Amino acid sequence: MSIENKYKALELEKPGIYELEGLEVGVTSNCNFKCDYCCAYQRNDGQCISSKEVIGIIDDIPTLKRVRLSGGEVTLKYQDCLDIVAHCSSKGIATQLNTNASLLSPERIERLRDAGLSNIHISFNFTDAEKYSAYYHVHPRMYETIVQNIRLCTEAKLETVLETLLFEETQNNMQAISEMVYELGVRIHEIQNSIVMDHTNWNAISTKEALVRSVHDLIAHKKEDTVLYFTCMDRFAEALGFKEQPGVYFSNCVDGKKQLHLHGNGDILICELCHPVVIGNIYNGTSLKDIYTHRPKPLQEFLDKLPCPAYDALFPKGI
């Protein structure tokens, strides 16, 4: 299999040996949007990890292959992001910055590109300003800003990934979204399967029928120069008749197995999205370098059971 995107490569390998190869860093929990499905852990930046601390942690993990910067809205701490990206790039570590794109500018985009950012990852769930505004609780003009900034990213030759959450609001509009992704100049489209998040009481997931229809339609209409990544579907892809082909990948879940989340207060989580269980804290002596050698009890329990909320939501009685 030819792997062109360095950051996504980790997800195309089935986790075998459990070791820390990916680190998601919660740069900030603050945000200028109010997304209903937000799963940001502890929306409180009273104590927030600095870029200097993050760089020190990165240097202490010899197995690390990629770093993802997330929030909140990460560009609220733009300089920290830039410093971390530049350092990772100097060490050959792939990076991804997850952003809503509202605070980008031509200068910021170019500096991220020049610092060596592997991917800029932007949520894209709507094809018109009014629906976007209603869902995210922002002014409709913000949609124009987002679209313009996505174009700026592609024009600057910064590898851009648009992610669409497949859920109630999007399940009947996936093809139109895909077409707009392409029109914006983006050639990597990630489709994130929605999951029930008990910790936030969000459960507006797609139906199984809509999921199957959407996936097959997106694959059938895929442009030759586009790559599709389907996430949170690997546990049941085969059972639903989904097959990989050139440019179509069902990403393997690496959370808890090869990737952990580091929050700004020092907490280490298995996965902020679907399994926000705290397994230690760097300020209380937990070493990320040794965490898979000396596994905390919650991490070992997770690896023994490998729970999958996406699977449980679609197949409560099993396949």
Tell me the C-alpha distance between 242 and 234, whole Å.
Answer: 9
Structure pTM?
0.94
Amino acid identity, position 2: S
Give me the chain's average pLDDT, please: 92
SS3 label, residue 244: coil
pLDDT at 1: 31
What does the pLDDT read at residue 310?
86
Q: Residue 3 falls within a domain, yes or no? A: no
Looking at the chain, the whole-number percentage of residues with pLDDT higher than 70 is 93
Asked whether residue 210 is domain-assigned, the answer is: yes
Total domain count, the chain? 1
- Asked whether residue 43 carries a pLDDT value surpassing 60, the answer given is no
| pLDDT over threshold 70, residue 37 | no
Q: pLDDT, tens digit, for every residue of 108-120?
A: 999 999 999 999 9
Q: Is 199's pLDDT higher than 70?
A: no
The tens digit of pLDDT for each residue in 234-258 reads 999 999 999 999 999 999 999 999 9
Domain span including residue 131: 8-314
Residue 56 lies in a domain: yes
Can you give the pLDDT at residue 271?
Answer: 94
pLDDT confidence of 220, banded at 50, 70, 90? very high
Is the confidence at residue 148, as pLDDT, over 80? yes
Q: What is the pLDDT of residue 2?
A: 38
Q: Where are the beta strands (DSSP E) in 17-124?
A: 22-26, 66-70, 94-99, 119-123
Residue 319 resides in a domain: no
pLDDT digits 0-9 by tens, 65-99: 999 999 889 999 999 999 999 999 999 999 999 99
Cβ–Cβ under 8 Å, residues 55 and 83: yes
What is the DSSP track for 177-207? HHHHHHHTT--EEEEEEP--BTTTTB--BPP
In the prediction, which pLDDT does 312 show? 87
Residue with the two structure tokens 């969000």:
202
Question: CATH number for the domain including 290?
Answer: 3.20.20.70
Q: What strands, in cross-sheet order, belong to the sheet with 22-26?
A: 248-250, 227-231, 188-193, 160-166, 119-123, 94-99, 66-70, 22-26, 259-262, 267-271, 275-281
Tokens 């769930």, residue located = 125
Mean pLDDT of 151-176: 96
Whether residue 145 is contained in a domain is answered as yes
- pLDDT tens-digit map of 265-305: 999 999 988 889 999 999 999 999 999 999 999 999 999 99
What tokens appear for 290 in the block? 């040794």
Q: Which residues of 290-318 are buried (b: 16+ CB within 10 A; e: fewer)?
A: ebbeebbebbeebeeeeebbbbebbeeee
Across-strand partners of 161? 121, 188
SS3 content of the chain, % helix, strand, coil (to 5): 35, 20, 45
pLDDT tier at 314 (50, 70, 90 boundaries)?
Answer: confident
Longest dimension (CA), the chain: 52
Q: What is the mean predicted confidence (pLDDT) over 13-24?
A: 94
Q: Omega before 280 cis (within 30°)?
A: no
In the numeric block, the tokens 């546990």 are attached to 235
Residue 68 lies inside a defined structural domain of this protein: yes
